[in-house]
């Protein structure tokens, strides 16, 4: 089964949460629906939400139940899902605490909530390119990118049995064109030269590029004694 760059994180979340075929899963900030498609192929029943209309439209090509909206107000009933996830999205919520509270609300008692995002810049080869595009400065590491940050967020949100981990997520592209497209998303073409120069240390013998990056993740369980 083909999976995306974040595949190692997806597998960790599914393994720790123990969900399997038939489980109801919701991805908050689902983007174009890569994780939703993976969950569906694994036999789960996925739903998703994202604030970008064009991405919602793309995600609906793989999964019917994808809704337009933000993390702070999820359009599902209490205790709907066995697993609720946010892959590289919760940090963009207007209020992360409110967004997490909504994720917990729609999770059934005994179910799991998982949050994952990029680890600190020092653990990501992509930081070399980001520095080159940002006048030599790395983007600041927020609280959720450093060790312990996601665990604290989930514990403060009332989740129990929180497991925190670090997943290696290599990014490999076959050629220079793919590198530039992946970084610039087919915009700001005048920056292509800076991207290629910064990525030179990661060039492979075959002319492609391989950059090693990391995601931090935390998975917590909603107390079985919690109300509906």
Q: 169-211 pLDDT, tens per residue? A: 999 999 999 999 989 977 888 999 999 999 999 999 999 999 9
Q: Which CATH number fits domain 7-120+140-168+214-221: 3.10.620.30, 3.40.50.150, 3.40.50.20, 3.90.1170.50?
A: 3.40.50.150
Measured distance between the N- and C-terminal CA atoms of the chain, rounded to whole angstroms: 35
Residues 45 and 32: their CA atoms lie apart, in Å, by 17
The angle, 0 to 180 degrees and rounded to 10, between the axes of the packed helices 7-17 and 34-41 is: 50
DSSP collapsed to 3 states, 145-199 = HCCCHHHHHHHHCCCEEEEEEEEECCEEECCHHHHHHHHHCCCCHHHHHHHHHHC
Domain assignments of the chain as residue spans, ordered by start: 7-120+140-168+214-221
What DSSP state is assigned to residue 203?
A: B
- Contact between 166 and 150 (Cβ < 8 Å): no
- Token pair of 112 as six digits: 């799991």
The sheet with strand 66-68 has its strands ordered as 66-68, 45-50, 24-28, 81-87, 107-118, 214-221, 160-168
**Tens-digit pLDDT profile for the chain (228 aa)?**
345 678 999 999 999 999 999 999 999 999 999 999 999 999 999 999 999 999 999 999 999 999 999 999 999 999 999 999 999 999 999 999 999 999 999 999 999 999 999 999 999 999 999 999 988 887 788 899 999 999 999 999 999 999 999 999 999 999 999 999 989 977 888 999 999 999 999 999 999 999 999 999 999 999 997 665
Q: 149-172 pLDDT, tens per residue? A: 999 999 999 999 999 999 999 999
């Amino acid at each position: 089964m083909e999976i995306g760059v974040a595949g190692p994180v997806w597998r960790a979340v599914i393994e720790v949460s123990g969900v399997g075929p038939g489980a109801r899963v919701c991805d908050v900030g689902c983007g174009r629906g890569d994780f939703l498609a993976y969950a569906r192929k694994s036999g789960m029943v996925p739903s998703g939400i994202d604030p970008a209309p064009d991405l919602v439209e793309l995600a609906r090509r793989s999964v019917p139940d994808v809704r337009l909206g933000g993390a702070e107000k999820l359009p599902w009933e209490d205790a709907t899902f066995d697993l609720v996830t946010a892959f590289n999205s919760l940090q963009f919520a207007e209020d992360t605490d409110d967004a997490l509270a909504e994720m917990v609300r729609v999770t059934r008692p005994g179910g799991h909530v998982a949050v994952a995002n990029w680890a600190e810049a020092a653990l990501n080869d992509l930081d070399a390119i980001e520095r080159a595009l940002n006048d030599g400065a790395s983007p600041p590491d927020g609280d959720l990118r450093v060790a312990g940050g996601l665990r604290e967020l989930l514990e403060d949100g009332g989740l129990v049995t929180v497991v925190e981990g670090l997943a290696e997520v290599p990014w490999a592209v076959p050629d220079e064109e793919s590198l530039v497209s992946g970084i610039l998303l087919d915009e700001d073409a005048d920056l292509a030269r800076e991207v290629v120069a910064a990525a030179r240390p990661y060039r492979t013998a075959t002319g492609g590029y391989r950059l090693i990056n990391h995601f931090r993740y935390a998975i917590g369980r909603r107390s079985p004694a919690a109300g509906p």
